[in-house]
Chain A
Amino acid sequence: MTTSPIETAALPRPEKSPWQIKNPKQTRALILASVAPAIVVLAITFGFQIDGTIAMLTMFLPLQVLSAGAVGFRIYGKKGIADAGLVIFTIFFSSLVGVLLMSVLYSVITEGFKALSPQFISQNNVYITPTTSLEYGGVGHAVLGTFIIVGITTAVTVPLGIALAVYLTETTSKTKGAVRTLVQAMSGLPSVVAGLFVYAALITSGFSKYAGWLGSLALIPLMLPTVTRVAEEALRLVPVELRNGALALGAPAYRSFLSVTLPAAKSGIITAVLLGIARIIGETAPLLLTVNYANSTVLNPLESMAALPTYIYQNLDSANDTSLQRAWGAALVILIFVAIIFSAARMATRSASVKKKPKKVAKND
């Protein structure tokens, strides 16, 4: 009863797997269904001068759903109709999201580049009125101010956040759940309320005038939840066997953490810091309430300083074409910073995952 190898070889091997075979008729119908409604509606819209939005919603969408439903019914029978509806729904809303988000990116980049120039990056805002031409003045003071304010916040929040993550992962305390809930509650603090808190507690009470360090103070509760959550996630990903191994070899807990757990979670911790910075770099309301704005280059955090978000606010508020242009330029600068932070975070996680792979192979052996 054994089949001889010759007989098996004689069987013709199908060129394609059954699920790869496509009926050319079906392909044609699909293409027709996705192109025809667009052409018809475009023709009607231009022919009768109908408003584009109305044509889109009242003619194109129903027509597209109908044609896709018809083709779906032809190919798959009854269940094809619902599928067509789902696909059209998904593609319509996804493209809406895509158009809106791309519009944001595109306008920031194109409008921003019009304002961008070497002196826009380096100069400050002294003697600049809303109508001064773009050849003078820039965001240099605001970039430095943002660096200082965000730098102070980072210097305070990162150690605190990592220590908090250590508390949540490395200790066996019973209050862990409550502390985690509280930190998550902090992430619900509206940024303007954080600013108002510092404003009322330290400025209206006469303790201090508007100052950069107050802005840093207001940003701490906004950055802390992000840093803590991501760092906790990173520490949790370190296998418990690693820690136990270190402890079993006689290492005290702090050595086990500093020389085993922390290096293993390094990339995650870096990501936590970067995401935290990205979270607060564009916060405007707290800075408005606590730092206000300065036009000259101020490097002393005990004084009122400039920052990129407040610079945008200031220029947007004066509602003039040139100042609007400056606001776009500053928005582009922020966007570039956020993009740099993000690619740094991606690089941190990628290099970590490359390192992890050989380890896994060794374990399997």
Chain B
Amino acid sequence: MSVASDDLTKPVPPKRRLALKPHLIQDKIFYGIARSAAVGAVLIVALILGYLLFMSWDTLAQQGPAFVFGSQWSAADPENLVFQIGPMLWGSLLIAVNGMLLAVPMAIAAAYFIEFLANSKIAKIATMVVDLLAAIPSIVIGLWGVGVFTPVAAHWAKLLNENLGFIPFFNNTSGSFVNSPFIAGWVVAVMIVPIITSVTREIFSQLDRDVINAATALGASRSSTFMKVILPTSSGGIVGGALLGLGRALGETVAIFFVLNLSFEINWVEVVESRGGSIASMIVSFFGAASPEEVKALIAAGLVLFVITLLINWLAAVIVAKAQPWRK
């Protein structure tokens, strides 16, 4: 008891200050550098977005909603400038969707093959090759598209037209099968397949093997394990990877530039017809001879493309974050 009373009589020691903020000058510099890098990154994005908005304001205000939906582009008469990117925007989307329809099944199949069917040696090599190919510059794919793939794909397009021509998609009145959205779609697919495969394979490899083994032990077959266990648990990640590929497909420029015939006559669904559109390719083919007003219109087109890819990326981030809550 006496000990306790002793304790009570002692004065309360002053509260110690917890050093929550850096007080050393070096630490302040260290955190200052990190913080200024963050500010720098924010500034870069703000600068790009702000400048694009500022430059394209004139065009957007002058052309109105027709800028996105109309299909005419003439800078010849300075009194009556008409800039409308409807066919290019639609063409970009058409090619991207075309590429996704081809790339996603291929990528899922390849990832499933690498992760669950192939033996470990083949899987290791295939993983390496896929990761390497994901880094191949798109102009190399474009070169392959021009030099090697176009005749093959034109042949496929012709077969589709001859045998399934009654479906509006495969309608072709010009008789020319090269430089079509179909070929551009294939080229884009070849470009993004390694990207989607690499993401999907990564997600398959992170799956809990115990759950798969449990399904097998309960008598599930290969296909029911795939449909009921593997796909549902990894679908979010796969969608994220696919949207990542979609973003790349929409922004693809030079590969499409060489395998597509740009045309301001809108091509709704006739993918094997020899005309199409792509905003990114349009920018590259027009900027050289463009007047200042036309450059502004091109910037507005680029802004539209950027906003679309931003939306897609944001969607991908949300979906992946929801599917993989452990990755904060």
Q: How far is the CB of B194 from chain A (nearest CB, A)?
A: 7
Determine if A189 is an interface residue (Cβ-Cβ < 8 Å).
yes
Which residues of B have CB within 8 Å of A168?
38
**Min CB gap B59→A, angstroms:** 12
Query: Which chain B residues lie closer than 8 Å to A54 at the CB level?
Result: 159, 163
B325 at the interface (CB under 8 A from A): no
Q: Could you tell me which residues of chain A, from 86 to 100, have a CB within 8 Å of some CB in chain B?
A: 86-87, 89-94, 96-98, 100
Report whether over half of chain A's contact residues are helix, strand or loop; otherwise say mixed. Answer: helix
Within 8 A of A (CB), among B286-314: 287, 292, 295-296, 298-299, 302-303, 305-306, 309-310, 312-314
Q: A175 → chain B, closest Cβ, in Å?
A: 7
With beta carbons under 8 angstroms apart, the residue of B34, B128, B254, B303 that contacts A163 is: B34
B159 is contacted by which of A51, A76, A89, A201 (Cβ under 8 Å)?
Answer: A51
Distance, CA A182 to CA B131, complexed state (A): 26
Q: Is B44 an interface residue (CB 8 A)?
A: yes
A residues 191-231 touching B (CB-CB < 8 Å): 191-194, 196-197, 199-201, 204, 220-221, 224, 228
- A62 on the B face (CB < 8 A): no
Q: Which residues of B (91-132) have their CB < 8 Å from a CB of A? A: 105-110, 112-114, 117, 128-132
| Cβ-based interface call for B57 (8 A) | no
Does A105 count as interface, using CB distance less than 8 angstroms? yes
Q: How far is the CA of A181 from the CA of B221 in the complex (A)?
A: 41
Tell yes or no: B141 within 8 A of A by CB. Answer: yes
Residue of B52, B159, B317 touching A184 (CB-CB under 8 A): B317
Minimum CB–CB distance from A168 to chain B (whole Å) comes to 8
Q: Which of chain A's residues has its CB closest to B147's CB? A: A324
Residue A293 interfacial (CB < 8 Å): no
B104 nearest CB across to chain A (Å) = 10
| B254 contacts A284, C-beta separation under 8 Å | yes
Residue of B nearest to A176 (CB): B38
Tell me whether A160 and B299 are in contact (CB under 8 A): no
Q: Are A171 and B284 in contact (CB under 8 A)?
A: no
Structural contact, A182 and B34, CB atoms closer than 8 A:
no
| Contact across chains for B44 and A338 when beta carbons are under 8 A apart | no
Which stretch (B25-33, B61-69, B82-90, B173-181) binds chain A? B25-33
- State whether A163 and B24 are in contact (beta carbons under 8 Å apart), knowing that A79-B224, A309-B137 are contacts in the complex: no
Residue of A nearest to B108 (CB): A93
- Name A184's closest neighbour in chain B (CB-CB): B317
Q: Is A186 an interface residue (CB 8 A)?
A: yes
- Is A306 engaged at the interface, CB distance under 8 Å to the other chain? no
Binding-face segment, A23-31, A126-134, A251-259: A251-259
- Give the interface SS of chain B, mostly helix, strand, loop or mixed: helix
Residues of the A chain whose Cβ atoms lie less than 8 Å from the Cβ of B55: 200
Pairwise interchain contact B109-A93, C-beta atoms closer than 8 A: yes
**Total cross-chain contacts (CB, 8 A):** 262
Contact B159 A53 (CB under 8 A): yes
Q: How far is the CB of A121 from chain B (nearest CB, A)?
A: 18
Chain A residues, CB < 8 A from B322: none
Cβ contact of B302, chosen from A188, A190, A254, cutoff 8 A: A190
Given B130, B132, B280, B310, which contacts A185 in the complex, CB threshold below 8 Å? B310
Min distance, Cβ A235 to any Cβ of chain B, angstroms: 11
Whether B138 sits at the interface, judged by CB under 8 Å, is yes
B226 at the binding interface (Cβ < 8 Å): yes
**Which partner residue on chain A sits nearest B32 by CB separation?**
A163
> Is A85 among interface residues, defined by CB-CB distance under 8 A?
yes
Instruction: For A315, give the chain B residue with the smallest CB separation.
Output: B143
Choose from A86, A101, A179, A335 the contact partner of B226 (Cβ within 8 Å). Answer: A86
A188 in contact with B197 (CB, 8 Å):
no
Pick the residue among A85, A90, A167, A282 that contacts B109 (CB under 8 A). Answer: A90
> If the complex has contacts A188-B247, A189-B309, are A104 and B141 also in contact, measured as CB distance less than 8 A?
yes
Residue from B44, B143, B284, B317 having most chain A Cβ neighbours under 10 A: B143
**Which residue of B has the minimal Cβ distance to A186?**
B45
CB neighbours (8 Å) of B22 from chain A are 252-253
Q: Which of the residues A103, A191, A193 comes within 8 Å of B52, measured between beta carbons?
A: A193
Report if A170 contacts B (CB, 8 A): yes
Q: Which of A275-295 contact B (CB under 8 A)?
A: 275, 278-279, 281-285, 288-289
Chain B residues within an 8 Å CB radius of A108: 140, 143-144
Q: Is A113 in the interface zone, CB < 8 Å from B? A: no
Give chain A nearest CB distance to B141 CB in angstroms.
Answer: 7
Out of B146, B163, B222, B302, which one reaches A316, CB within 8 Å?
A: B146
Q: Is B197's CB under 8 angstroms from A97's CB? A: yes
> Beyond the given A94-B112, A189-B251, A200-B295, could you list 8 further A-B residue pairs with CB under 8 A, ordered by the A residue number?
A94-B113, A160-B37, A179-B41, A188-B247, A193-B302, A284-B137, A316-B146, A334-B140
5 closest pairs, A vs B, by CB?
A282-B137, A190-B251, A93-B109, A163-B37, A254-B30
Q: Which residues of B contact A (CB under 8 A)?
A: 22, 24, 26-27, 29-31, 33-38, 40-42, 44-45, 48, 51-52, 55, 105-110, 112-114, 117, 128-133, 135-144, 146-149, 155-156, 159, 163, 190, 193-194, 197, 221-224, 226, 247, 250-251, 253-254, 258, 280, 283-284, 287, 292, 295-296, 298-299, 302-303, 305-306, 309-310, 312-314, 317
26 A-B pairs, CB-CB below 8 angstroms? A51-B159, A82-B221, A83-B223, A86-B226, A94-B112, A101-B129, A103-B144, A107-B144, A111-B147, A164-B41, A179-B41, A182-B42, A185-B45, A185-B314, A189-B48, A191-B251, A197-B302, A199-B287, A200-B299, A228-B41, A252-B24, A253-B22, A253-B27, A254-B24, A254-B26, A285-B280
